[in-house]
């Protein structure tokens, strides 16, 4: 590969995806179209340290659903790197592993305003801010007053979709037909 070739700009959208839904995909689509990212990698987290008591669907099932949900869009990719890392999954370890595996990629961490407001409590927060770029998107109830005060942090004004995986799980448990909240490939295959 030509050493002068530009690095690919990769957005890392990490989460439990328990399950993945149209809100995840719409945000990622917007980020690809409006922020200059070449691709978005959906990093499926087997165990998020902030959700240690969460009722998670099996890891392999969540990964399989993400793969099916993103398969039709060439700029999306499912990423299972955290399945090979120690648990719980810390973002700094994920970023280090991906940087080692793909030195021709510039990684941009995608975080919601809720996570940004507690970012200073993350393991390796200073290293993340020093080495990587963050794209912070709005979340209802978590105000971002002005632009985050760091040169590697960019606030993005993506549309807010009030859809959560917990809403999806509750609706499914109640036997509700919520087919339009899930990617068609997920609804038709799993539900």
Mean pLDDT of the chain: 92
Q: Which of 101, 87, 5 is nearest to 47 (CA)?
A: 87
Per-residue pLDDT reduced to its tens digit, 103-120: 999 999 999 999 999 999
Residue 1, pLDDT score: 46
Average pLDDT, integer, range 46-65: 82
Per-residue pLDDT reduced to its tens digit, 125-176: 999 999 999 999 999 899 887 666 799 999 999 999 989 999 999 999 999 9
In the chain, where the domains are located: 8-190
8-190 has CATH 3.40.50.620 classification: yes
Are 87 and 43 spatial neighbours (Cβ–Cβ below 8 Å)?
no
Residue 189, pLDDT score: 81
- Give the predicted TM-score (pTM) of the model: 0.92
CA distances from 22 to 33, 56, 165, 184 (A): 16, 19, 10, 9
Can you give the length of the chain in residues? 191
**Region label for 81, one of left (φ > 0), alpha (ψ between -120 and 50) or beta (otherwise):** alpha
């Amino acid at each position: 590969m030509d050493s002068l070739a530009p690095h690919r700009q990769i957005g890392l959208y990490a989460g439990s995806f328990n399950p993945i839904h149209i809100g995840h995909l719409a945000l990622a689509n917007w980020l690809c179209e409006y922020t200059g990212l070449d691709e978005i990698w959906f990093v499926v987290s087997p165990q998020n340290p902030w959700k240690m008591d969460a009722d998670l669907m099996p890891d392999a099932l969540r990964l399989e659903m993400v793969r099916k949900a993103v398969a039709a869009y060439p700029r999306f990719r499912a990423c299972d790197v955290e399945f090979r890392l120690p648990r719980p999954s810390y973002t700094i370890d994920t970023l280090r592993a991906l940087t080692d595996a793909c030195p021709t990629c510039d990684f941009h961490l995608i975080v919601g305003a809720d996570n940004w407001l507690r970012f200073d409590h993350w393991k390796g927060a200073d290293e993340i801010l020093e080495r990587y770029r963050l794209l912070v998107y709005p979340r209802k109830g978590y105000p971002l007053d002005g632009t985050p005060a760091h040169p590697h942090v960019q606030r993005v004004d993506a549309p807010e979709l009030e859809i959560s995986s917990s809403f999806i799980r509750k609706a499914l448990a109640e036997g509700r037909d919520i087919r339009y909240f899930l990617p068609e490939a997920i609804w038709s295959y799993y539900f």
